[in-house]
Amino acid sequence: MCKAFSCVIGRDKTVTWRFGTDSHEDLIKIAGYKDNTLDPEKIEFCRIEISPKNGSYLEPDEWVFKIDMDVTPSWWTLAHKKACERAHKEWVKELDKILIRKPIVNPFRDVVPPNEITDEHIALLRDWASVNTSVWASVWASVWASVLASVLASVNTSVWASVLDTAWDPVWASVLDTVLDSVLDTAWAYTGSFFNLPRNAWKYIDKIDCDGYPYQSAVTLWEMGLVPSFYGGKWRLHGGPDAKVLWEGVI
């Protein structure tokens, strides 16, 4: 799987890249190159990847340059590398327009939940309950796969595993799948909040009436230290290090 940033460069130092397109094969077709030889003298292009060493596009530590070829073209020079690096800088500018670089919050570890569940929290939960259908498909389809995968890896490392490990109690064993789905929906909604996309760019939300991010209610609860779950016709709000049920009821 190709990683962002991906590009192809020709002998004449022309760099071909498209924001949101990370497939080298697609870029080769766009550029019009022939991919029919392994002869370093005849190869028309070079595949390049420049990706974060730590795998995080939210907090990249170092950008690593890679020639993604079994055979390096004989015409490859330092000037070709610098041309790719200039293109990468332009790509980063585009990325910065849509990626919200905010601290990753673990709602059970990093936030003290409210002492009392109020009408404000229930209103947010009610809104979330009305829009949480197909949240995974919406977030995944709305953000191209490679950058999303990196953000997911970063969020998963800091949050997902901890959330899922914390949220379970042995008595929930028989209903694990149902509860898991509802908690994962909230985690997907939180992940989507790292992307600054226009309202019309979010997919599968035609029936959701909002001006901004369609799943903001779940994000607001998450950042308050409250994680919703649903089972047996009832919603619950969990909070604190032990994911204690702070509220339970029908909405």
Which residues are within 8 A (CB) of 15 and not within 5 positions of it... i.e. 6 or more apart? 7, 8, 9, 83, 84, 86, 87
pLDDT band at 143 (very low <50, low <70, confident <90, very high): confident
Whether the per-residue pLDDT at 223 is higher than 70: the answer is yes
Whether the per-residue pLDDT at 161 is higher than 90: the answer is no
Report how far residue 216's alpha carbon sits from residue 201's, in angstroms, rounded to the nearest whole number: 15
Q: What is the pLDDT of residue 70?
A: 95
Contact indicator for 139, 188 with CB cutoff of 8 Å: yes
Pairing between strand 227-231 and 63-67?
unpaired
Domain-by-domain residue ranges, the chain?
5-98, 119-249
- The rounded percent of the chain whose pLDDT value lies above 70 is 92
C-alpha to C-alpha distances, 30 to 17, 46, 50, 91, nearest whole angstrom: 9, 14, 19, 17
- Exposure b/e, 224-246, CB count within 10 A at least 16 = b: bbbbbbbbeeebbbbbbeebeeb
pLDDT band at 157 (very low <50, low <70, confident <90, very high): confident
pLDDT band at 177 (very low <50, low <70, confident <90, very high): low
What type of residue is 106?
N
Tokens 């370093």 sit at which residue?
A: 40
pLDDT digits (tens, 9 = 90+) for 73-119: 999 999 999 999 999 999 999 999 988 988 889 898 899 999 999 99
Contact indicator for 127, 247 with CB cutoff of 8 Å: no
Paired tokens of 18: 């498209």
Element (H, E) at 7: strand 6-10
Model confidence, pTM: 0.84
